[in-house]
C-alpha cells in the first residue's frame, strides 16, 4: 500500500458487524422453519392382498417434485393392518404421496401415487389405499 499503514484484519469493519449478521441469519433461519404446521397423514388399507406386504415406503413430494419427507415402515408377518399414520411438517399446498409396497420377495410393486391438497385448517388427512 502506498502512503499508509496496512490495516490489521482484526480491525476490519466487517468483523465488528459479524455477530450482528450471524444473529440476523439465525433469526431468519428459525423464522423460516416455523411456518410449516404439523399435519397427520393417515392411510387406511382397503381391499385384499395387504397381508403379503412387508414394507411400505412413503415419499411426499411438493409441487416442484422435490422430496420433502420419506419414511419407511416395516411389518412382520401379516402385513399392515388398519391404519398407518405419518406426522409431517407441511405448509398449505399441493403434494404427491408416492407409496411403494414390497412383499417378502421380489421387487417393489408399482408405486401408488396420491395427490394431496392441504389447506391451512387441515391438520389431519385420511385416505384409503387400495392394494397395488
pLDDT score at 33: 59
44 strand-pairing partners: 83, 128
CA distances from 91 to 38, 47, 117 (A): 8, 31, 10
Instruction: State the Cα–Cα distance between residues 90 and 21, nearest whole angstrom.
Output: 29
Residues 73, 45, 37, 70: is their CA dihedral positive or negative?
Answer: positive
pLDDT score at 98: 93
More confident call, 132 vs 41: 41
Q: pTM for the complete prediction? A: 0.68
Instruction: State the Cα–Cα distance between residues 6 and 103, nearest whole angstrom.
Output: 71
Average pLDDT, the chain: 83
Q: How many C-beta neighbours within 10 Å does residue 73 have?
A: 15
Instruction: State the Cα–Cα distance between residues 66 and 96, nearest whole angstrom.
Output: 10
Residues in the chain: 132
Residue 91 cell numbers, joined: 405448509
pLDDT tens per residue, range 92-128: 899 999 999 888 777 777 888 989 998 888 889 898 8
pLDDT tens per residue, range 5-55: 666 777 777 777 888 888 888 888 777 655 678 899 998 988 887 888 888
Amino acid at each position: 500500500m502506498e502512503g499508509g499503514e496496512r490495516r490489521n484484519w482484526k480491525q476490519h469493519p466487517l468483523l465488528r458487524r459479524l455477530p450482528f449478521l450471524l444473529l440476523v441469519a439465525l433469526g431468519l433461519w428459525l423464522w423460516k422453519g416455523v411456518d410449516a404446521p404439523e399435519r397427520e397423514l393417515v392411510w387406511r388399507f382397503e381391499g385384499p392382498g395387504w397381508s403379503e406386504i412387508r414394507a411400505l415406503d412413503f415419499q411426499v413430494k411438493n409441487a416442484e417434485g422435490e422430496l420433502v419427507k420419506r419414511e419407511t415402515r416395516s411389518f412382520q408377518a401379516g402385513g399392515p393392518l388398519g391404519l398407518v399414520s405419518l406426522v409431517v411438517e407441511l405448509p398449505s399446498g399441493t403434494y404427491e404421496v408416492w407409496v411403494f409396497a414390497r412383499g417378502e420377495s421380489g421387487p417393489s410393486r408399482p408405486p401408488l401415487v396420491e395427490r394431496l391438497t392441504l389447506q391451512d385448517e387441515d391438520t389431519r388427512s385420511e385416505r384409503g389405499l387400495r392394494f397395488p
